[in-house]
Amino acid sequence: MVLQLLSLSVNVLCLIQKVPQIYRIYKTKNVESVSLSSVLLEETAYTLVLTYNLWRNYPLSTFFEYIFLFIQDLLLLWALSKYSTKETKEKGKLNDRSTPLYGILAFSVYLFLGIVGLVPSAWMRICTMLVIPISASSKIVQLRTILSNKSAGQVSRPGWMIACYNNFARIITNLVETRDMSMVLNLFISLILNISIVIACTVYKYGPVRKPKDKKKKKTT
- The arithmetic mean of pLDDT across residues 103-108, rounded, is 95
- Residue 23's pLDDT is what? 87
Tens-place pLDDT, residues 3-53: 788 878 887 888 888 888 888 888 888 887 788 999 999 999 999 989 988
- The arithmetic mean of pLDDT across residues 65-70, rounded, is 88
Q: Is the pLDDT of residue 128 over 70?
A: yes
R_g over Cα of the chain: 20
Domain range summary for the chain, segments of one domain joined by +: 2-203
d(CA 24, CA 18): 10
- 27, 19 Cβ separation under 8 angstroms: no
> Residue 127: which pLDDT band, with cuts at 50, 70 and 90?
confident
> Residue 217: which pLDDT band, with cuts at 50, 70 and 90?
very low
> Residue 60: which pLDDT band, with cuts at 50, 70 and 90?
confident
- Residue 139's pLDDT is what? 92
Q: Is the pLDDT of residue 90 over 60?
A: no
Q: Residue 40's closest CA among 71, 64, 76?
A: 76
